[in-house]
Chains A and B, each alone.
Chain A
Amino acid sequence: MKYLLVEDNPELAKAICSRMGLDGHQVDHADKISDAVAFAQTGEYDLILLDIMLPDGDGRSFLKQHRAEKNDTPVIVLTARSQVSDRISMLDLGADDYVTKPFDHAELQARCRAVLRRNTGTAQPTTRLGDVEFDPVGGYLNVKGTTINLRNRELRLLELLMNAKGQVFSKQKLVDRLFSYDDDVSENAVEVYVGRLRKHLEGSSVHIRTLRGLGYRLDHEG
């Protein structure tokens, strides 16, 4: 996925970019509205993350302009406000969703996914691996012609493993990525989801291997 981040605080921008990169997304950064408009006009972004307070104006005016240009790239607003009416007005202006700063990155990811799922049509980029076709946005897995609807954590786990095919993930790392820091879960919780995925992938050329003491790895036969 290719994201455009409009954020004037360089530190936060850097943190978001690096965190997004961790999930395998490509992020371009604009630190003012004028740049953002120029970037957005190229039309090559799947999603725009928009800060509201910017040095050369209000993010809301960007939104207005953005929608006036019939640009349908979905926008998620990053707002420092939490005022009830402000949330509403942002949505009225055409934002697809918003996240209140400071935000949980997992929540941001979840909202991005939800927005993308709502906005993109059937022609979605899918990842194909052997006889398995994976649609990370729609949350579908097609194994030998059978479509399986993945649940959220299954989806995220598969996405994680698919994006770094052949790489070994420790249980700890997977817990950190799948669960909120607040969910007080043991490493064994991961086993449940790995088990579910294995069941879905049964009979396909894609396997999740257990490397005892190290973690898991996605392998592909042939």
Chain B
Amino acid sequence: MKANVVVFGSLRNRLGIILTGGAALLAILLFFVVRGYAAQIAQEGQDNILGASVSSILDATVLREGTIELDFPYASLSMLSTSADDRVFYAIYEDGALLSGYDGLDVELPVSVGEAVFTSTQYDNATIRVASASRTLIGIDTPRQVSVSVAQTQDALAETLNRISRNVAVFGTGFFALATALAFWATSATIGQLSRLTTSVTRRGPQDLSPFLKPVPTEMVPLVGSLNTLMSRLDQSLKQSEDFIAEAAHRVRTPLATVRSYAEATFQRVETQENRDALRSMMRAIDESSRAAGQLLDHAMVTFRAENLEREDVEFDGLLRDLVQRMTPVADMRDVTINLESTAPAIIRGDPVLLQNAFRNLIDNALKYAPVDTSITIRVQTNPSISVDVLDQGPGFLVNEMDMLAGRFVRGGDTQGHIGSGLGLTIVQDVAMAHDGTMVLSNRSEGGACVTLQF
């Protein structure tokens, strides 16, 4: 069945991918947002210190006798100590000309006096953060503009960022792992509902086309609804086709019955051998065709039921007793008696309809070949395992044919004059196999055929 289903992706995988993918996306987003935010904060921290350094230097500038003097405190640079031993550069300008410190910091100095300006630039192959600020000193003659830039490499910042990145990465990975676990759980929980539905569909017997009544989640209501609709349609169409077959059989068999009845009545009356032979052939043909049709249908039925075996406890004694009673009138016609020998109760798990059909075929066969005034014995044994023998006192099987008789449409060479389809033993064999049993054909030493079903 499964092979016929066209598979396109998997709901579980799709759900899993969407959920874990979403989680991964969120984790990555989280990583970058937190890292960016941390970078901003760390940069602000560095800027604050650089700004403080700049202003402490600016504050120390004095104009003495027309000369700029600068006695900036030790702390101006001391505060720039970092765990990564970042390099520190500074420059002091008077009206744009370098007064002291490092040349070529190459920063655009703030024109106006006020807040410190921060820029990032390259210096001596290193990325540096520069803080610059200006101050105007009023001398005797002209005002002087003093600008100070303090710069620092960003090793400590990078270290901090790396540490934060690592932590955020660990956190993000943890978040992702947790989200994935949750996704798995959610997926299994969701798919679990589907699996449960699937299981209950699979567990159903082949005849069970009743609607599903177990409660299902809202989202599955349409599915189960249409499944139920499909089931009821299937059930209906199955019933319709059953009715159709029944109707068809009725239409065909009733006229046949009419013809046969007339033929039989006429047979009683006509005297000439020629006419009698004709009527006999007619009846034989009718019987043959009706029996063949019946056996074919039975065989199809048996095949179907054997594939979808419904097991229940089957008690052989009762089943066979019913069957014997059913067959006795036919046996009586030929003064054949049917004996049922059953001592201990024999019970197997199986399909009673199939088993009954199998035994009916065996008894039918025995009746066909049993000579008048003989008996047929059905023997049920429970030791060592459950087995049923059907014995007759007829001619028995032809030894060289025994292996082939269970084949479809194979009829024994000694069956001339007997009506048969060649399906009887095939059906019996199929039923035995469906119940993990075997059918053994043998001839009795005292004469007659023996068919044994072992379970």
Give Cα A78 to B253, complex, Å. 11
CB contacts (< 8 Å) of B444 on chain A: these are none
Among A38-46, A96-104, A205-213, the one that faces the other chain is A96-104
Do B286 and A102 have beta carbons less than 8 Å apart? Answer: yes
The smallest beta-carbon distance between B454 and chain A, in angstroms, is 22
Do B257 and A12 have beta carbons less than 8 Å apart? Answer: yes
Do A182 and B284 have beta carbons less than 8 Å apart? Answer: yes
Residue from B246, B261, B417 in contact with A81 in the complex, judged by beta carbons closer than 8 Å? B246
Q: Which of B254-306 contact A (CB under 8 A)?
A: 254-262, 264-265, 267-268, 271, 279-280, 283-284, 286-287, 290, 293-294, 297-298, 301-302
CB contacts (< 8 Å) of A106 on chain B: these are 333
CB contacts (< 8 Å) of A19 on chain B: these are 261, 264-265
Among A29-37, A124-132, A172-180, A214-222, the one that faces the other chain is A172-180
What number of residue pairs across chains A and B have CB atoms under 8 A from each other?
A: 130
Q: Which of A1-59 contact B (CB under 8 A)?
A: 9, 11-12, 15-16, 18-19, 22, 51-53
Does B357 touch A at the CB level, under 8 Å?
Answer: yes
Do A152 and B333 have beta carbons less than 8 Å apart? Answer: yes
B298-331 Cβ-contact flags toward A at 8 Å (1 or 0): 1001100000000000000000000000101110
Where the two chains meet, the residues of A that have a C-beta atom closer than 8 Å to any C-beta of B are 9, 11-12, 15-16, 18-19, 22, 51-53, 78, 80-86, 88, 97, 100-107, 110-111, 113-114, 151-153, 172-173, 176-177, 180-184
CB contacts (< 8 Å) of A9 on chain B: these are 254-255, 257-258
Given A80-B254, A101-B257, A53 and B246 contact (CB-CB distance below 8 Å): yes
CB contacts (< 8 Å) of B302 on chain A: these are 84
The smallest beta-carbon distance between A207 and chain B, in angstroms, is 24
Does B159 touch A at the CB level, under 8 Å?
Answer: no
Do B264 and A53 have beta carbons less than 8 Å apart? Answer: no
Do A101 and B290 have beta carbons less than 8 Å apart? Answer: yes
CB contacts (< 8 Å) of B286 on chain A: these are 102
Give Cα A15 to B259, complex, Å. 8
Residue from A22, A107, A114, A180 in contact with B265 in the complex, judged by beta carbons closer than 8 Å? A22
CB contacts (< 8 Å) of A172 on chain B: these are 271
CB contacts (< 8 Å) of B86 on chain A: these are none
Give Cα A100 to B260, complex, Å. 12
Does B209 touch A at the CB level, under 8 Å?
Answer: no
The smallest beta-carbon distance between A52 and chain B, in angstroms, is 7
CB contacts (< 8 Å) of B290 on chain A: these are 100-102
- A107-B330, A110-B330 known; 18 new pairs, CB 8 Å cut-off, are A9-B255, A9-B257, A12-B254, A19-B265, A80-B253, A81-B246, A82-B249, A82-B293, A101-B290, A102-B253, A102-B259, A103-B260, A104-B260, A180-B333, A181-B280, A181-B283, A182-B419, A184-B417
Given A11-B258, A104-B287, A110 and B332 contact (CB-CB distance below 8 Å): yes
Give Cα A168 to B267, complex, Å. 18
CB contacts (< 8 Å) of B357 on chain A: these are 84
Q: List 15 A-B contacts (CB under 8 A).
A: A9-B254, A15-B265, A80-B249, A80-B254, A82-B298, A84-B353, A88-B353, A102-B257, A102-B259, A107-B329, A172-B271, A173-B268, A180-B333, A181-B279, A181-B283
CB contacts (< 8 Å) of A78 on chain B: these are 257
Do A182 and B417 have beta carbons less than 8 Å apart? Answer: yes
Given A11-B258, A15-B262, A101-B254, A181 and B417 contact (CB-CB distance below 8 Å): no
Give Cα A181 to B271, complex, Å. 14
Give Cα A82 to B301, complex, Å. 10
Give Cα A83 to B300, complex, Å. 10
Nearest chain B residue, comparing its CB with the CB of A54: B250
The smallest beta-carbon distance between A98 and chain B, in angstroms, is 9
Give Cα A113 to B331, complex, Å. 13
The smallest beta-carbon distance between B232 and chain A, in angstroms, is 21
Do B301 and A83 have beta carbons less than 8 Å apart? Answer: yes
Does B335 touch A at the CB level, under 8 Å?
Answer: yes
Nearest chain B residue, comparing its CB with the CB of A193: B335
Nearest chain A residue, comparing its CB with the CB of B427: A84
